[in-house]
Amino acid sequence: MSNTTPLAVVTLAAGKGSRMKSDLPKVLHPLAGKPMLGHVLDAASALPGAVQHVVVGHGAEQVKISLADASVQWAEQLEQKGTGHAVAQAMPNVDGEALVLILYGDVPLIQTQTLQKLVDIAAQDQLALLTVNLANPDGYGRIVRNTEDAVQAIVEHKDATPEQHLIAEVNTGIMAMPAKYLNTWLPALSADNAQGEYYLTDVIAMAVADGVVVTALQPTSESEVEGVNDRVQLARLERVYQASLAHDLLVQGVSLADPARIDIRGSLTVGANVFIDVGCVFEGDVVLADNVTIGAYSVIRNSQLGDGVKVETFCHIEDARVDAGCNLGPYARLRPGAELAEGARVGNFCEVKKSFIGKGSKVNHLTYIGDTTIGEGANIGAGTITCNYDGVNKFRTDIGDGAFIGSNSSLVAPVSVGKGATVAAGSIITKAVGDGELAVARGKQRNISGWERPKKSN
C-alpha cells in the first residue's frame, strides 16, 4: 500500500467504568489534569493524517461536550454489546480504503511511536496486534500461538481452558488492520461465548482463516498498555506519568529537590539552571526562564517567570507575568492579571490581582493590590489595601513612581497618588494626592495627661 493510505483511529470509550464509583464518565477522569481520553487522542493525533473516531455510550453527551475542541467523529454505541460491536458503530464513518487503528479511551499512556509501528505493519496488509507478557494475566484475553509461534487466536479469560490460562501473553486490546478486513469480519462475529458479547478479539482467528498475516508487537513498557478500571490504577498511572515528566526535566538539566514530589498538569517550559523544591504543582502553560528558583509547596498556573525570579515557599501564582529578578513570597498570591516588572517584590501575605507593579517596586507585607497600576521604585507599606470594590463596581488605583504609602493605609478607588508622593501611615485616601505631596488622612492624636484608668467596681 502507498503511504497515502488514509488512517482512521477508532477509540473505544463507551464502557461504564462502574469500578470508578463516579458520576464522571471513566474516560473523562483526569490524568495530569487532562482527561484520559484526551491523552489517547493526543497520542493518536501525532500520527500523520490520522482521522479520529470515538465510540461513546455511557455519558456520551458529557464526553462529547468535554472534548468539543477535539477534531473527532463521534459514533454512538447505545448498548454495550462488546468491543467488536463497538468498533462496528464507527465503521460506517470510516473510509473503506483506510487502515484502522483501534485504541481504548481508558489506556492513557499509549505512545505515538508504538502506534506508528502498528500502523506500519497494517500498511503491509497485515493485522498488527499489541500484546504484552504479564506475571498475572488473569482477566485478559490470551494470545494463542501454534507450534511455529504464529498467532492463531485470542481466547478471552472466561472462555479459556485451564491450559490456556497458563499463557502469559495477553491482548492489550490495541490493534491495527485494513478497514476492508474489518468490514468483512465484524458482521460475521457471533456472541456465542461466555459473556454473550461480540468480541473484537474473534477477528484474529478470522484473519488466520483468511490467510491474513497476524503480527504481534510489544510496547516499550507495560504502563503504556495499562488500562484504568478503578481509581487505584488511575493513581498508579498518574505516578508513572509524573515520574517520566520529572525524569525529562532532570535530563534537561533542571534541579529537582525530589523528582517524586513534583506534579505537572500541563506544559512546563524551563530554562537553564532552574531549581524546584519539593511539593510544587504546575498547571496549564508555565514558563520558567533561566536561573529561576521555586520554593517548596508553590502552585503555579498559566504564568511566565523571567530570568532569576525567586519564589519562596508557599506561593500561589495564576495567570501572572513576573519579569526578571523579581522576588515573591513566602506566602504571596498572584491572581489573574498580575504583572510584575523587573526586580519588583511581593512579600508575605500579599495578594495582587489585575495590577501592574513597576520596576523595583516593593509590596512587602500583608497587602491587597487590586486593579492598580504602580510605577517604578514605589514602596507600599505593610497592610495597605486598595479598596477597589464598592460592592457593585470595581475601580482603579494609580500610584506614581517613587511613591511611598505608609503602613495600614486604605486607598479608596478611584484614586491616584502622584510621583514621589507620600501617604502617612494609617491614612484613608479618598482624594487624589499630587506629585511630591504628603497626604495625612487620619484622626489627630490627642494626649490626655493625668488620665486615670477605670477601677473595678466592687
Binding site for Ca ion (CB under 5 A): 227
Rounded to whole angstroms, what are the CA distances from 37 to 12, 54, 112? 9, 9, 14
Instruction: Return the residue nearest Ca ion (CB atom).
Output: 227
> Is 26 or 359 the residue whose CB approaches ligand UD1 more closely?
26
Nearest to 416 by CA among 432, 393, 429, 394: 432
SS3 379: strand
Cell of 205: 482467528
Stretch that binds ligand UD1, among 73-81, 109-117, 205-213, 265-273 (CB under 6 A): 73-81
CA distances (Å), origin 237, targets 63, 243, 256: 21, 10, 21
- Mark 4-33 with x for binding to ligand UD1 (rule: CB under 6 A) and - for no binding: --------xxxx------------------
Burial of 124 (0-12, 13-18, 19+ CB in 10 A): exposed
Of ligand UD1, Ca ion, none, which one does residue 141 interact with (CB within 5 to 8 Å by kind)?
A: ligand UD1
Q: Does 246 bind ligand UD1 (CB under 6 A)?
A: no
Alpha carbon 73 to its chain centroid, in Å, reads 23
Residue nearest ligand UD1 (C-beta atom): 141
Apex CA 285: angle with CA 284 and CA 288, to 5°? Answer: 130
Q: Supply the DSSP string of 139-207, one letter for each residue.
A: TSPEEEE-TT--EEEEE-GGG--TTGGG--EEEEEEEEEEHHHHHHHGGG----STT----GGGHHHHH
Task: Identify which of residues 205 and 324 has a Cβ nearer to ligand UD1 in the complex.
Answer: 205
Q: Which does residue 86 bind out of ligand UD1, Ca ion, none, counting CB within 5 to 8 angstroms by kind?
A: ligand UD1
Q: Is the peptide bond prior to 414 cis by the omega test (within 30 degrees of 0)?
A: yes
Nearest by Cα to 199 from 7, 8, 57, 12:
12
105 binding ligand UD1? (CB under 6 A): yes
Q: Cell 488511575, residue?
A: 234
The least CB distance from residue 18 to ligand UD1, in Å, is 11
- Cell, residue 151: 498467532
Q: Closest CB to ligand UD1 among 193 and 302?
A: 193
* List 6, 30, 33, 227, residue binding ligand UD1 (CB under 6 A): 227
Please, what is the minimum distance in Å from the beta carbon of residue 9 to ligand UD1?
14
Which of the residues 133 through 172 are near ligand UD1 (CB under 6 A)?
140-141, 154, 156, 170-172
Taking the least distance from each CB to ligand UD1, the nearer of 130 and 403 is 130
> Which does residue 363 touch among ligand UD1, Ca ion, none (CB within 5 to 8 A, set by kind)?
none
How far apart are CB 179 and ligand UD1 at their closest, in Å?
A: 18
Smallest separation, CB 207 to ligand UD1 (Å)? 15
Closer residue to ligand UD1 (CB): 74 or 368? 74
Q: Annotate 311-337 with three-state secondary structure.
A: ECCCCEEECCEECCCCEECCCEEECCC
Catalytic residue among 53, 157, 165, 365: 365
- Piece of the chain touching ligand UD1 by CB under 6 A; list 35-43, 98-106, 335-343, 401-409: 98-106
> Which listed option, Ca ion, ligand UD1, none, makes contact with residue 105 (CB within 5 to 8 Å by class)?
ligand UD1
Q: Which one of residues 74, 104, 241, 282 is an interface residue with ligand UD1 (CB under 6 A)? A: 104
Size of the site for ligand UD1 (CB under 6 A): 28
Nearest to 332 by CA among 24, 308, 357: 357
350 binds, among Ca ion, ligand UD1, none (CB under 5 to 8 A by kind): none
Q: Is 108 in the site for ligand UD1 (CB under 6 A)?
A: no
- The type of residue at 20 is M
Q: Please report, as residue ranges, which positions from 167 to 206 form the binding site for ligand UD1 (by CB under 6 A).
A: 170-173, 199-201
Instruction: Establish whether 365 is a catalytic residue.
Output: yes
Q: Which is nearer to ligand UD1, 82 or 377 (CB)?
A: 82
Q: C-alpha grid cell for residue 102?
A: 483501534
Q: Is 85 in the site for ligand UD1 (CB under 6 A)?
A: yes
Query: Based on the number of CB atoms within 10 Å of its own CB, is 398 exposed (0-12), middle (13-18) or buried (19 or more)?
Result: middle
Q: Is residue 405 a contact point for ligand UD1 (CB under 6 A)? A: no
Closest CA to 116 of 162, 48, 163, 39: 48
Query: What is the DSSP secondary-structure string of 99-143?
Result: EEEEEETT-TT--HHHHHHHHHHHTTT-EEEEEEE-SS-TTSPEE
In the complex, the smallest distance separating the C-beta of residue 229 from Ca ion, rounded to whole angstroms, is 5
Give the residue numbers marked as catalytic: 365
Where do contacts with ligand UD1 occur on this chain (CB under 6 A)? 12-15, 55, 57, 77, 80-83, 85-86, 104-106, 140-141, 154, 156, 170-173, 199-201, 227
